[in-house]
């Protein structure tokens, strides 16, 4: 069962989850905020694709970019309107706010569009496969891997070669000190949220391509993946997020192969049990980092 097709699928999933987790961690690393509304950014990407693909003649490449931009702007906007005013108050307030924003966006979609699932017309490419070494590899998987490699490379470039990127990494180390060097807090945070939105947008393209439909609650499963991958990888290291994403993909793919058919539906439950075991021995996650948040016991 473990053949080239399986491995490519797993890599594709892993790279998707890596980007997913990255988008979450980039905000967490600086603000210590777990953004519950992150999943809804994927929903926004999905509905953008639904609206544009269904009602305009735009080519898919353009639609994809607009979807990413939509997610980015939503993320940016929610920070500006909901998170910034609460930022000074307390972390718990921000967390609850993010949950409220999540509910707001979900029910907003429900209200404005429909509670029912909406089919998204996908480009032909996503349904075709190519033959490599005697196995049929869906184009979708190849695209996912290529896109994520490119995205991670670009992100890495941004973080290492630009002053803004250096400032972002510094902010994750020590936000206050970064401000004391004259770096504007709002710029840093807005940038982080924007990057988070871009990640979610890109993920949404490939995520929707798997099911070809979008509903208001489509953000919940990827949110969970992002959460768990992040916790596995160690909460505030970007490398940890990538590792966590791949580890999640590997475990869940293996579970898919090795679990008896009757238990297959409980994959997530088993995943969770494994995560708990990991956390039992390594509460700070797999990747050691200086800033994993205070361990309690």
Partner 1 sequence: MNLPARLKLFNTPLILVAGILVIALLTQLFGISLLTRIVTVMFISLILVLGLQLYMGNSGILNFAHIGFMGIGAYTSVLFSMTSKAKLLTNSDLYPFLVPLHLSFLPSLLIGGLMAAFLAAVTSYPLMRLSDAAAVITTFALLVIIHVVLLHGDRITNGPRTLFGVDFYTTLWTSTVFAVITIFAVYLFKESRIGLRLRASRDDRYAAASIGINMVLMRWLAFVVSAFIAGVGGGLWAHFITSFTPYSFYLTETFVILAMLVIGGPYSVSGAVVGTLVVTAAREVLRAIENYVNILNVFPEGFFGFTEVVLAIVLILILVYRPAGIMGGRELTWLRERPKTRESEAFKNSGKA
Partner 2 sequence: MLELQEVHARYGTITALRGISIQVSRGELVALLGVNGAGKSTTLGCIAGVLRPWQGSITFEGVPLVGKSPEQIARLGVSLVPEGRDIFPSLTVEENLRLGSFIQKEKSAYKRNLDEAFDLFPVLKQRLQQAGGTLSGGEQQQLAIARALMSNPRLLMLDEPSLGLAPVLVDQIFELIARLHQRGVTILLVEQNVERSLEIVDRAYLMNTGLIESQGTAQQLRTQADIASVYMGIKQQDKK
Binding to partner 1 in span 13-52, by CB under 8 A: 28, 32, 34, 36
Count CA atoms within 13 Å of residue 171 on its CB side. Answer: 27
Helix, strand, coil content of the chain in percent (nearest 5)? 75, 5, 20
Within 10 Å of residue 118's Cβ, how many Cβ atoms? 18
Element (H, E) at 136: strand 135-138
- The residue to which tokens 């990127």 are assigned: 165
Q: For residue 137, report the phi and psi dihedrals to the nearest 5 degrees.
A: -110, 120
Choose the one of partner 2, partner 1, none that binds residue 296, judging by a C-beta under 5 to 8 angstroms depending on kind.
Answer: partner 1
Judged by CB under 8 A, does residue 184 bind partner 2? yes
- DSSP helix/strand/coil, 164: helix
Q: Which of 56, 174, 282, 283 binds partner 2 (CB under 8 A)?
A: 174
Judged by CB under 8 A, does residue 266 bind partner 1? yes
DSSP letter (8 states) at residue 124: G
Within 10 Å of residue 84's Cβ, how many Cβ atoms? 16
Choose the one of partner 2, partner 1, none that binds residue 122, judging by a C-beta under 5 to 8 angstroms depending on kind.
Answer: none
The answer to whether 241 and 22 are in contact (CB under 8 A) is yes
Q: Which of 129, 190, 213, 217 binds partner 1 (CB under 8 A)?
A: 217
Which residues partner with 129 through β-bridges?
138
The answer to whether 182 and 20 are in contact (CB under 8 A) is no
Judged by CB under 8 A, does residue 89 bind partner 1? yes
What tokens appear for 176 in the block? 């206050």
Using the minimum distance from each CB to partner 2, give the nearer residue, 92 or 176: 176
Using the minimum distance from each CB to partner 1, give the nearer residue, 134 or 294: 294
Using the minimum distance from each CB to partner 1, give the nearer residue, 18 or 27: 27
Binding-residue pattern over the window 119 to 158 for partner 1, x denoting contact by CB under 8 A: ----------------------------------------
Residues within the interface to partner 2 (CB under 8 A):
163, 166-167, 169-170, 172-174, 176-185, 290
Return residues touching partner 1 (CB under 8 A): 28, 32, 34, 36, 82, 85-93, 95-97, 99-101, 103-104, 106-111, 113-116, 176, 216-217, 220, 224, 227-228, 230-231, 235, 265-266, 268-269, 272, 275-277, 279-280, 283-285, 292-297
């Amino acid at each position: 069962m473990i053949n080239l097709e399986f491995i490519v699928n797993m890599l594709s999933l892993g790279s998707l989850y890596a980007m997913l987790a990255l988008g979450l961690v980039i905000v967490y690393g600086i603000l210590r905020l777990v953004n519950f509304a992150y999943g809804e950014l994927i929903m926004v990407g999905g509905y953008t694709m639904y609206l544009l693909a269904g009602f305009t003649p735009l080519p898919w490449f353009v639609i994809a970019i607009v979807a990413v931009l939509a997610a980015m702007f939503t993320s940016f906007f929610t920070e500006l309107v909901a998170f910034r005013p609460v930022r000074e108050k307390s972390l718990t307030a921000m967390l609850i706010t993010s949950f409220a924003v999540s509910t707001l966006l979900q029910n907003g979609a429900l209200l404005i569009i429909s509670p029912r699932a909406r089919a998204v017309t996908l480009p032909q490419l996503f349904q075709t496969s190519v033959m490599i070494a005697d196995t049929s590899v869906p184009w979708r998987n190849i695209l996912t891997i290529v896109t994520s490699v490119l995205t991670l490379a670009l992100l890495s470039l941004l973080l290492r070669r630009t002053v803004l990127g250096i400032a972002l990494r510094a902010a994750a180390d020590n936000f206050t000190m970064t401000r004391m060097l004259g770096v504007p807090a709002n710029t840093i945070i807005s940038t982080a949220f924007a990057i988070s939105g871009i990640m979610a947008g890109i993920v949404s393209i490939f995520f929707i391509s798997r099911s070809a439909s979008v509903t208001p609650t489509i953000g919940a499963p990827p949110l969970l993946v992002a959460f768990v991958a992040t916790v596995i990888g160690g909460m505030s290291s970007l490398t940890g997020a990538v590792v966590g994403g791949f580890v999640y993909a590997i475990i869940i793919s293996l579970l898919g192969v090795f679990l008896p058919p009757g238990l297959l539906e409980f994959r997530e439950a088993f995943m969770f049990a494994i995560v708990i075991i990991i956390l039992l021995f390594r509460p700070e996650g797999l990747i050691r980092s200086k800033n994993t948040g205070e361990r309690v016991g």
